Structure 1
């Protein structure tokens, strides 16, 4: 399997750095090919330039390299600390620059039966993706009634909007809570759990998001049909 790790943390000696190093070693020991896009080490330019907007498409070499990595990968792991309820700005900038028109979006034709190739279809269909996320708060803080909101809802814009939108199957995330409280024993337990998730990247059932063009949505309004999960609303309505 070809695995791309898109990684965002500025400190190599951090918990995130240790988890990334473990993942690379574990995957390679299992016979997988691994590439890492270490965004801080690469000094990734997170700012979308005027020459890169759709009307003036000019893909720079750094964008083309990352797109080629995505084409190469069977599975993409996005690893980052949860900062201000989302991914670090440098990783969001990676998405904004790499997901260019015709690659990450704007794929396929619109009609009264099909609204482009997105949400389960698109350039990255056939690939799998998983988030590895660390958070300073407790697991209870991110529960359905927790003060920070349910973690599945916090991650929905990334899972559904960044990973599923261009076609990738999205695996349940690997989450590390209380990231600032990490002794040797706990770290060993977490890496064992992470290793198990890495060993099952190809077999873990993905989050069952509804596909856009498979009959659940009215096109072009893009609203769930009245007889589809009539009692559901919000993010949960888009789970099959």
Structure 2
């Protein structure tokens, strides 16, 4: 299988760097083809701007969505964007590995999403009608591919529990897993989280690697998070709200899980 690791940490010798290196070696030893987008090492440009379309004329005010659409359709995207899109298209599974900074992915990875998910590639795909509101949330260009988050944090696991001060981890990651991954069609696997990373010695590192290996070995037989699909009948169109008979009485993130 072809596996892409999108990785964000500025220090190659960090725990994240060591875990990423372990994952690459483990996957290759299992016979997989692995590509890594090491965003800091690549000096990835995170900001969306007019230079993302090499044919931008400058005659009109810069419209990010419109220029993204124009560049994708005309084949005039900047080379770095096109290269990452090609990696995504070739991948059977994508792993996003990053430290949880301020309750989200690092800014450089968010910038990767904003630029690589171009209009016509990651969004703005499919027909809009009375029964179908675009190919998204379970459909789209990434349909049939798997994705998984691997994230590290300094806090204790109870801090991220249902009654923990930081809120449940599944809620914190919902915007990423549902909005960034499920939206363009990925089957999203449960995340792998490593806590109290500042307390990692050699023994614990070996334990983390074992946990990572088990998840990697089961990429294709782990059940995805059961997010509801937008166009499968659970949502009214065009309001895109759950129909009254679907998960009655439930609200918030949990209502969008088909439990």
TM-score calculated relative to the size of structure 2:
0.92
Report the equivalent of 1:54. Answer: 65
In structure 2, the residue matched to 1:205 is: 223
Equivalent position of 1:156 in the other structure: 174
* d(CA) in 1 for partners of 2:203, 2:163: 30
Structure 1 residue 98 and structure 2 residue 98: aligned? no
**Residue in structure 1 matched with residue 83 of structure 2 by the alignment:** 65
- Per the TM alignment, residue 51 of structure 1 is displaced from its structure 2 partner at its CA by 4.6
How many equivalent residue pairs? 240
Q: Secondary structure of the equivalent of 2:44?
A: coil
CA distance in structure 1 between the aligned counterparts of 2:65 and 2:151, rounded to whole angstroms = 31
Unmatched runs of 5 consecutive residues or more in structure 1: none
Tell me the alpha carbon deviations over residues 127-177 of structure 1, each in whole angstroms, 9 at most, x when there is no partner.
Answer: 000000001100000001100000000000000000000000000001000
The answer to whether structure 1 residue 141 and structure 2 residue 172 are counterparts is: no
SS in 2 for 1:214: helix
Contact kept? 2:149, 2:192, Cα under 8 Å: yes
Unaligned runs of 5+ in 2: 53-63, 72-76
Partner of 2:213: 195
Matched, 1:214 2:245: no
State whether residues 51 and 78 of structure 2, in contact with CA within 8 Å, keep that contact through their aligned partners in structure 1.
no
The aligned counterpart of 1:172 is: 190
Give the Å deviation of 1:35: 0.1
TM-score of the two chains, using structure 1 as the length reference: 0.99
Q: 2-side partners of 1:108 and 1:197: how far apart?
A: 33
Structure-2 separation of matches of 1:228 and 1:143: 27
Query: Match for residue 29 of structure 1?
Result: 29
Distance 1:143 1:49 in 2: 39
Give 2:140's aligned residue.
122
1:164-219 alpha-carbon deviations (Å, 9 max, x no partner): 00000000001000011001111111101110100000110000000000000000
- Does residue 1:223 correspond to 2:234, yes or no? no
Deviation at 1:55, TM superposition (A): 1.9
Instruction: Please list the CA deviations of residues 116-136 of structure 1 after superposition, one character each: whole Å capped at 9, or x if unmatched.
Output: 000000011000000000011
4+ residue stretches of structure 1 with deviation over 4 A? none
In structure 2, what is the Cα distance between the partners aligned to 1:154 and 1:162? 13
CA distance in 1, matches of 2:148, 2:51: 31
SS in 1 for 2:197: coil
Q: What is the root-mean-square deviation in Å for CA atoms of aligned residues?
A: 0.7
The whole-number CA distance in structure 1 between the counterparts of 2:231 and 2:51 is 32
Query: Following the alignment from structure 1 to structure 2, what is the Cα–Cα distance between the partners of residues 185 and 54?
Result: 48
